[in-house]
Chains A and B, each alone.
Chain A
Amino acid sequence: MNGFNVKFGYRDIFLEDVQPVHILYETRVKTAGCRAVIDARGLKHKELTDLLREAVRRGSSELVINHVFGQRYIGTRLYSPFKDEKICIEVNQFPGNDLGAFLNGHRITVQGNAQDGVGNTMDDGLIVVHGRAGDVTAMSMRGGQIFIRDNVGYRAAIHMKEYKDKVPVLTVGGTSQDFLGEYMAGGIVMLLGLNLQEDEPHRARYIGVGMHGGVIYLRGRLAEHQVGREVEICPPDERDREIIGRYVREYCRYFGGSPQEIINGRFQKLIPASLRPYGQIYAS
């Protein structure tokens, strides 16, 4: 009936033994102008997000977080209904899951690999990962941009959406695992395949299953069986070339490389065959 019950012991790993933010702020944060450098070594998720929020509250707009090792939700807690200022966050080394989940306009740069759920239900802003990202990257993303230098895991861009001019973009330099763009309802995915060998195909299967909106631009080889049956493959037209060019140049701006060389590769465009993939499977 209490915390002493060993058999059914309940520990809240997120909230228990969290150090007060004002004490952490004194020891972990060094500020210079609008820039705050935060030492995240050994901090719990909430301790770090407390610090980020506190630093922003005290006027910092450029946050550099060093020694990040697995802390989740970086960028999630910087929402304020009264403050519209967008924060720049540099994450050094390895953030945990849900980096930039529900992100609403801030910019995050990661110098290392990211884990699962990068940009989960992200609304606006920018995430640049100098490394790879894990599963469900850009899940249900509604706006903003994500650039991943290397590969992404399973089900990237799942259920990405768009509305009018709010179009999210996920650009992946490498390749992805299965179910890329599943149920995709909008947005743009670029899969550049830069780390594949000459003539080495992408390995992902079930690409775009259930897709009913948006577009995937895929560079490199791909067999038809790797793509969901709701997807149509076609060559990019002039307008597509313009979009591809825009995001490839941006990719190269973050990670280096020659835009022209990438653009000259073989691109295919994957679009939904129907806006209503499941319109016919029901009887009333």
Chain B
Amino acid sequence: MYPYILSEFIVERREDRCIRCRVCERQCANGVHLFDSELNRFFTTEKDCVGCQRCVMLCPADALYVRPRLADYRPNGSWTRDQMQNLKKQAATGGVVLTGSGNDKPYRVYWNHLTLNASQVTNPSIDPLREPMELQTFLGRKPDSLKIEFNGGKARLASEFPPNVPLRMPLLFSAMSLGAISYPAFKSLAMAAKEAGVLFNTGEGGLPVEMRGEYADHAIVQCASGRFGVDEDYLNCARIVEIKIGQGAKPGIGGHLPGEKVSDYIAQTRMIPRGTDALSPAPQHDIYSIEDLSMLIYALKEATDYSKPVSVKIAAVNNVAAIASGIVRAGADIVAIDGFRGGTGAAPLVTRDNVGIPIELALSAVDKRLRDEGIRNRCSVIAAGGIRSSADAIKAIALGDDAVYLATAPLVAMGCTLCHKCHTGKCNWGICTQDPFLTKRLNPELTSRRLSNLLRSWEHEIQEILGGMGVNAIESLRGNREHLRGLGLEEWELNVLGVKGAGE
């Protein structure tokens, strides 16, 4: 740690309860607890504590408390503690301040200002426990029209369908690469996706060959600016190929997987030498325009023999609607939009907290624009970045979304406590680290069950809400803003969302 920085947490040990089992000492990769057996007492290095609560939760005697240490500086509405601490870090290092996870600044969360509708009297609500409730979603381009041929009184569908991928429910695991997260975390996502009939996204760290047989059918593989691990086997084994242009947590910049995280195994899946920085350039250097994007989209379609939908993922930025329109016209079958509360394994703090726009507004603007232009059917839209609950997912679907990408939510289900220290590689929960001592804390068999439980509960909750609306298929809710009302929003916000105010 750097000088002149107050510790962020207070670690309290109730000596009357502590049984000196030293679990806390073994569990903390940051070295906060140190036991001196001669003195029979613990020493605590509070300034290294990240507040991940691992020691607290594993303490068998409930002897530990870790609490945020509120700013001890003179209160100041403008020069907050965060601002001051960053200045001190910069003064000590001359470096760019890094952080992990998603934007934690108190920007307006629009999900909290949208409410859902339910049926009363004029149409009956449906009980999803006993009546059919369709959540199945198809990702990919839909034809402009359907040709039906009649032959001797029999009807036959004559249109050719572009490739589509079915999902049991409109939920997907968002891109988290092997390398950013640990192998057990990565595998847990794959296992849960398979179990639940949805897809996981490999990120740009490649897909290990030994996982392809079992899980490739549930994988979205990414072709990003670093092109790590991309070859024709990798592209052809998956269900969907995604071109990553941007990420909500860090629009416009690339990524550096630091050399110390590039172990033998990571080196092999990324096909780079061990111990070198894995640099993902900011742009893809074969894409400087919509026309170039089109070229890569069709290069990937060629490489996969036109058998898979190609997705393009962008960060939500100012002109996102026009960009999305260009992406669809360039030939993408899926547009994924990542809002500015999306997470990351590592990003400059200044970018994470200040660049991009919220997913709610971006999603609604994109859906509206594509409808206005008559090309909404040409792509599926996937929203990402800050979807915390099934309610957020339902609201996204009512704003025109086809399926949502989840990343922070499944990480929390695995154990993450959002300490925002992903970039240090010392995740005590074994998620965002490559240290074998830490990664073995996750058992994919158990963790994947937690993830499939999460998906199952969201599935039930979505069905309940749909039933309450009197709707028996998710398709009837898609883009149906009549089921939403805004609370405490200004007129321009309601306009962008295309939603009426409550009571209107």
Q: Which residue of chain B lies nearest to A105 when distances are taken between CB atoms in the complex?
A: B232
CA distance A271 to B13 in the complex (A): 53
A116 within 8 A of B: yes
CA distance A139 to B193 in the complex (A): 33
Residue contact A136 to B93, C-beta cutoff 8 Å: no
CA distance A45 to B286 in the complex (A): 18
Residue contact B303 to A79, C-beta cutoff 8 Å: yes
Residue contact A123 to B331, C-beta cutoff 8 Å: no
Residue contact B96 to A281, C-beta cutoff 8 Å: yes
Residue contact B374 to A140, C-beta cutoff 8 Å: no
B263 within 8 A of A: no
Interface size, chain B (Cβ < 8 Å): 55
A1 within 8 A of B: yes
Name which of A8, A15, A158, A284 has the most chain B CB atoms within 10 A of its CB: A284
Q: Which residue of chain A lies nearest to B304 when distances are taken between CB atoms in the complex?
A: A79
Asked if A49 meets B302 with Cβ closer than 8 Å, knowing A1-B374, A161-B271, the reply is yes
A203 within 8 A of B: no
Residue contact B271 to A142, C-beta cutoff 8 Å: yes
CA distance A2 to B145 in the complex (A): 9
Interface size, chain A (Cβ < 8 Å): 57
A72 neighbours in B (Cβ, 8 Å)? 295, 298-299
- A86 CB to closest chain B CB (Å) equals 13
CA distance A223 to B298 in the complex (A): 40
Q: Which residue of chain B lies nearest to A104 when distances are taken between CB atoms in the complex?
A: B232
Asked if A136 meets B374 with Cβ closer than 8 Å, knowing A14-B331, A283-B97, the reply is no
Residue contact A10 to B375, C-beta cutoff 8 Å: yes
Asked if A280 meets B299 with Cβ closer than 8 Å, knowing A10-B329, A102-B231, the reply is no
A264 within 8 A of B: no
A26 neighbours in B (Cβ, 8 Å)? none
Residue contact B299 to A73, C-beta cutoff 8 Å: yes
Residue contact A276 to B144, C-beta cutoff 8 Å: no
A186 neighbours in B (Cβ, 8 Å)? 272-273
- A36 CB to closest chain B CB (Å) equals 19
B319 within 8 A of A: no
Residue contact B375 to A8, C-beta cutoff 8 Å: yes
Residue contact A283 to B285, C-beta cutoff 8 Å: no
| B258 in complex: contacting residue of A76, A136, A279, A283, CB < 8 Å | A279
A142 neighbours in B (Cβ, 8 Å)? 227, 230-231, 271
Per-residue A-contact encoding for B188-231, CB less than 8 Å = 1, 0 else = 00000000000000000000000000000000000100111011
A212 neighbours in B (Cβ, 8 Å)? 276-277, 279
B375 neighbours in A (Cβ, 8 Å)? 8, 10
Per-residue A-contact encoding for B247-288, CB less than 8 Å = 1, 0 else = 000000000101100000001100111011111010001100
Per-residue B-contact encoding for A86-123, CB less than 8 Å = 1, 0 else = 00000000000110011010000000000011001101
Asked if A213 meets B273 with Cβ closer than 8 Å, knowing A2-B144, A102-B235, A283-B90, the reply is yes
A174 within 8 A of B: no
15 A-B pairs in the complex with CB atoms less than 8 angstroms apart = A3-B144, A8-B373, A14-B331, A97-B295, A140-B227, A142-B271, A158-B285, A159-B281, A162-B271, A162-B272, A213-B273, A275-B277, A282-B97, A283-B98, A284-B424
Which residues of A come within 8 Å of B, CB atoms?
1-3, 5, 8, 10, 12, 14-15, 45-46, 49, 53, 72-73, 76-77, 79, 81, 97-98, 101-102, 104, 116-117, 120-121, 123, 136, 139-140, 142, 155, 158-159, 161-163, 166, 182-183, 185-186, 210, 212-213, 275-284
